[in-house]
Amino acid sequence: MKTYRVAVVGATGAVGREMLKTLEDRDFPAHEVVPMASKRSAGNTVPFKGQELTVVELTEDSFEGFDLALFSAGGSTSEKFAPLAAKAGCVVVDNSSAWRMDDACPLVVPEVNAHDLEWHKGIIANPNCSTIQMVVALKPLHDVARIKRVVVSTYQAVSGTGHKAIVELENQVRRLMSGHEVTPEVYPYQIAFNCLPQIDVFLDNDYTKEEMKMVNETKKIMGDESIRVTATTVRVPVFYGHSEAVNVEFANAISAKEARVILSQAPGIKVLDNPKEKIYPMPLIAAGEDDTFVGRIRDDDTQPNTLNMWIVADNIRKGAALNAVQIAEALAERGLMRVP
């Protein structure tokens, strides 16, 4: 079996650490894994396969001799260093938003559009976390009944913002429960015991950047510009696991019963849907798991050929690290671990 020399850029962050863990858990064929980060983090260590790997500083010359680089270090870092990696012959899977809507870069969820890897030019984009779990559930249904319109409302965990947001939620809960006031720092308002209908900045159309990511990325991943998508994204006081209420209108007839069967047979999906027994997906169930969980599948009685469903996944795993490693696995399986 061919093995690869792999760099993990942003290895000290929450997603970077999860990338290392996922490479280990899935026994990705790597003969060397090198964690990279900024000069500030260089010299720290991160766990991998029972040992502590020393983090090396990311520089313009870091990628010579590497086959693969998994990036999770922010958009500006990706914009600067991903082309340098590709120029050095290293295939990049980037977790930032920097390359997602670039026409020269595939935007890939392996269960949905692994075939798009065939035309990569050295940089592959990992989609937005909330988009990934939604399209995993939408694609099998689209193949059967063709989706016309999607209305999605998200309930997104604070871990999507990063470690500082996790700490902020934890500290706010403790202070409030002990009778103290809180001062928000990561979010514009208190997140504990609250919901914030703003993720990322507002755009000129009054949608947030996160909402428009879901709109545009869904069309690109599904390969169908005719699908209409509208989104409302909300940050909720949950540590791990994004949840989504999704209303889907189809061109052709499809029942909730048919959808349950289709989804139960689809890769990467686990159907939890038994309302009488109070069985449905929740972030507590999804946290730490690789599957995308789907439940509350039901007919929309107000609109023909339309279903409602509830989709939950771990945003750090399937929404980020796992999907990136699955892309790498698909590249290896298809003999595409090379820059054309």
Token digits of residue 165: 């947001």
Note if the pTM is more than 0.85: yes
Q: What is the pLDDT of residue 338?
A: 93
- CB 91, CB 337: distance < 8 Å: yes
Catalytic residue check, 242: yes
Catalytic choice (90, 120, 142, 242): 242
Of residues 90, 105, 120, 129, which has the active-site annotation?
Answer: 129
> Does 129 participate in catalysis according to the annotation?
yes
- Separation of CA 227 from chain center: 20
The closest alpha carbon to 235, from 309, 161, 164, 289, belongs to 161
**What is the DSSP annotation of 226-241?**
T-EEEEEEEE-S-SS-
In the prediction, which pLDDT does 155 show? Answer: 98
* pLDDT for the residue numbered 264: 98
CA dist., res. 3 & res. 151, Å (int): 43
List residues bridging with 295 in a β-sheet: 310
Nearest to 340 by CA among 126, 127, 125, 123: 123
CATH architecture assigned to 4-127+320-333: 3-Layer(aba) Sandwich (3.40)
Would you identify the CATH topology of the domain 131-314?
A: Dihydrodipicolinate Reductase; domain 2 (3.30.360)
Would you give per-residue pLDDT tens digits along the chain (340 residues)? 899 999 999 999 999 999 999 999 999 999 999 999 999 999 999 999 999 999 999 999 999 999 999 999 999 999 999 999 999 999 999 999 999 999 999 999 999 999 999 999 999 999 999 999 999 999 999 999 999 999 999 999 999 999 999 999 999 999 999 999 999 999 999 999 999 999 999 999 999 999 999 999 999 999 999 999 999 999 999 999 999 999 999 999 999 999 999 999 999 999 999 999 999 999 999 999 999 999 999 999 999 999 999 999 999 999 999 999 999 999 999 999 999 8
- Angle of the 129-145 helix axis to the 256-264 helix axis, nearest 10: 110
Question: What DSSP element (H or E) covers 155?
Answer: strand 147-156
pLDDT value of residue 36 = 98
In the chain, domain spans:
4-127+320-333, 131-314
Side chain identity at residue 63, one-letter code: F
Helix (H) or strand (E) holding 312: strand 306-313
